[in-house]
């Protein structure tokens, strides 16, 4: 299982119940709500029906053809993917076979190297995409896919699907990591306001301390992946304090972990997470961060669940799934989130992650599905299916995604953040770094750092793990 998918799946594990009930799909109708493969917008078109089959005619007659999809997205999140292709199957005649595997990251590489990959893989990180391209088995998508990505996604997203200057994979789903969870009801009762800058965030934290509270709660225990939440914290602060250019050079290895700019970011995070006055609200001392699972860390925010002890918790959009079913999540609810602010109110750096549609075949039916998948039509069908099947938890950076198809308030907030004209999006840094660093030394040394290791020792040890060539 990939690093990003591992985190997301662990995040929903506590909340997921039985598999969602599949939608019942009507046959192709004469209704005209659906967008075409080039992307004409779907508005609130349903996930399974309500689309004129004529808009799928551009993909040709694919009766008798089959396309295989392989992914690490397992139940219950797999069902919305299956459902999102139903109308395409009905109208083109193609059969889409979706297979999910918790060991996807390892197995897709094995399959590619052995020469028997699937037709399409849903790849959740640029680093893995690069490894797959290196096998020589990945094929470039048709020009229509590149055109759709240019139309519906920003250039940053196209860059993450590009390897050595060649575009290979269109974006699919996305997540926003630059969020701080809080309780709007608690804030209102205490007279607190959502901060708009980093200075205001620090001032708010100090105000909470002055009021007799420990504002922050955190947890980084995640089994073999223990430590990853700190990497997200550091990445967010590199973006905010040093900017996107330094961030890019750091991720690529041109700026070292020992660089003063990266040390500054670590220490800025330490001002929160290693501050005994700030953490670990309702749980323990600073060292308790290392032994607290990230799934449990922020649950103390909800005052209706015996919580109300934690005021602030930095975690990604997928954290919503960890709160008990029925939790009032929303702008005026018991639990919600706000954007982790930049240095200035006008600054809008956003850390996130996503998935990429990667093909190993250029058969016409495979290219047809790739093209459909890269449209706003598919994005809206997928969002609607996710809302109906699992209550949300899926978004895309596709500019044509209609927020009316999202029922989850955090999904809506995340899409608003991604669509903001001032947003400067950057993909999770550790997911792009060499594995020895991103899922090795960075996680391990960050854990040692939170339990007492100095910043200088930490960055020196992480840098030492960076491959020499």
Model confidence pLDDT, tens digit, residues 368-405 = 999 999 999 999 999 999 999 888 899 999 999 999 99
The answer to whether the beta carbons of residues 112 and 132 sit under 8 Å apart is: yes
**Per-residue pLDDT at 305:** 81
Residue 432: partners with Cβ closer than 8 Å, 6 or more residues away: 125, 126, 127, 251, 438
Residue 244: CA atoms inside 13 Å, Cβ hemisphere, count? 12
Prediction pTM value: 0.86
**Per-residue pLDDT at 51:** 60
**Per-residue pLDDT at 33:** 34
Residue bearing tokens 């349903």? 46
215 vs 461: CA distance, rounded Å: 31
Q: What is the mean pLDDT of the chain?
A: 90
268 vs 437: CA distance, rounded Å: 21
3-176+352-427 and 179-350+430-464 share one CATH topology?
yes
Distances (CA, A) of 11 to 271, 338, 354, 393: 26, 19, 15, 11
Angle (deg, nearest 10), helices 442-450 and 260-273: 50
Stretches where the chain sits below pLDDT 70 are 1-51, 469
Give domain 179-350+430-464's CATH number out of 1.10.10.10, 3.40.50.620, 3.20.20.70, 3.40.190.10.
3.40.190.10
DSSP, residue by residue, 264-328: HHHHHHHHHHT-TTT--TTT-STTHHHHSBHHHHTGGG-GGGT-----BEE--GGGGGGSPTT--
DSSP, residue by residue, 46-93: -SSS--BGGGGGGG---TT-EEEEEES--TTTHHHHHHHTHHHHHHH-
Residue bearing tokens 């119940």? 17
451 vs 223: CA distance, rounded Å: 17
The answer to whether the beta carbons of residues 205 and 388 sit under 8 Å apart is: no
Q: What is the pLDDT of residues 297-353, one digit of tens each?
A: 999 999 988 788 999 999 999 999 899 988 999 999 999 999 999 999 999 999 999
Q: What angle do CA 10, 11, 13 make, to 5 degrees?
A: 60
**Per-residue pLDDT at 45:** 40
**Per-residue pLDDT at 210:** 98
Q: Can you name the CATH fold of 3-176+352-427? A: D-Maltodextrin-Binding Protein; domain 2 (3.40.190)
378 vs 3: CA distance, rounded Å: 26
For residue 338, count other CB atoms closer than 10 A to its CB: 19
* Domain range annotation of the chain: 3-176+352-427, 179-350+430-464
Q: What is the pLDDT of residues 134-153, one digit of tens each?
A: 999 999 999 999 999 999 99
């Amino acid at each position: 299982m990939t690093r990003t998918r591992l985190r997301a799946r662990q995040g929903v594990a506590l909340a997921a119940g039985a598999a969602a009930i599949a939608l019942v799909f009507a046959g192709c109708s004469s209704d005209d709500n659906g967008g075409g493969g080039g992307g004409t917008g779907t508005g609130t078109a349903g996930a399974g029906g309500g689309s004129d089959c004529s808009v799928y005619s551009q993909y040709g007659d694919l009766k008798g053809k089959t396309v295989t999809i392989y992914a690490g997205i397992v139940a219950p999140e797999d069902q919305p993917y299956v459902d999102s292709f139903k109308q395409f199957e009905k109208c083109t005649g193609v059969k889409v076979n979706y297979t999910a595997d918790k060991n996807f990251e390892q197995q897709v590489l094995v399959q590619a190297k052995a020469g028997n990959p699937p037709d399409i893989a849903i790849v959740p990180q640029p680093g893995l995409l690069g490894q797959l391209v290196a096998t020589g088995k990945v094929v470039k998508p048709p020009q229509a896919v590149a055109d759709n990505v240019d139309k519906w996604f920003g250039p940053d997203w196209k860059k993450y699907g590009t390897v050595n200057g060649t575009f290979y994979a269109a974006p699919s789903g996305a997540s926003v990591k630059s969020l701080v969870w809080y309780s709007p009801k608690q804030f209102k009762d205490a007279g607190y306001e959502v901060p708009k800058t980093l200075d205001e965030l620090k001032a708010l934290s100090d105000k909470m301390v002055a009021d007799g509270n420990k504002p922050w709660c955190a947890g980084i225990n995640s089994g073999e992946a223990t430590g990853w939440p700190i990497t997200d914290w550091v990445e967010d602060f590199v973006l905010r304090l040093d900017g996107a250019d330094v961030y890019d050079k750091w991720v690529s290895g041109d700026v070292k972990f020992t660089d003063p700019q990266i040390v500054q970011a670590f220490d800025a995070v330490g001002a929160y997470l290693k501050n005994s006055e700030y953490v670990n609200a309702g749980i323990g001392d600073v060292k308790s961060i290392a032994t607290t699972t990230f799934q449990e860390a922020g649950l103390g925010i909800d005052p209706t669940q015996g919580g109300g002890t934690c005021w602030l918790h930095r975690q990604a959009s997928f954290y919503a799934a960890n709160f008990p079913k029925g939790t009032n999540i929303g702008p005026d609810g018991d639990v919600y989130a706000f954007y982790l602010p930049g240095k200035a109110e006008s600054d809008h750096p956003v850390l996130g992650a996503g998935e990429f549609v990667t093909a190993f075949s250029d058969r016409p039916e495979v290219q047809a599905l790739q093209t459909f998948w890269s449209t706003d039509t598919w994005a809206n069908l997928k969002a609607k299916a996710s809302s109906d099947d699992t209550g949300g938890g899926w978004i895309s950076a596709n500019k044509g995604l209609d927020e009316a198809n999202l029922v989850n308030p955090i999904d809506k907030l995340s899409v608003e953040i991604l669509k903001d004209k001032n947003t400067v999006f950057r993909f999770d840094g550790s997911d792009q770094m060499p594995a020895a660093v991103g899922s090795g030394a960075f996680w391990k040394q960050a854990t040692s750092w939170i339990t007492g290791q100095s910043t200088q020792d930490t960055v020196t040890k992480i840098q030492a793990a960076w491959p020499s060539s």
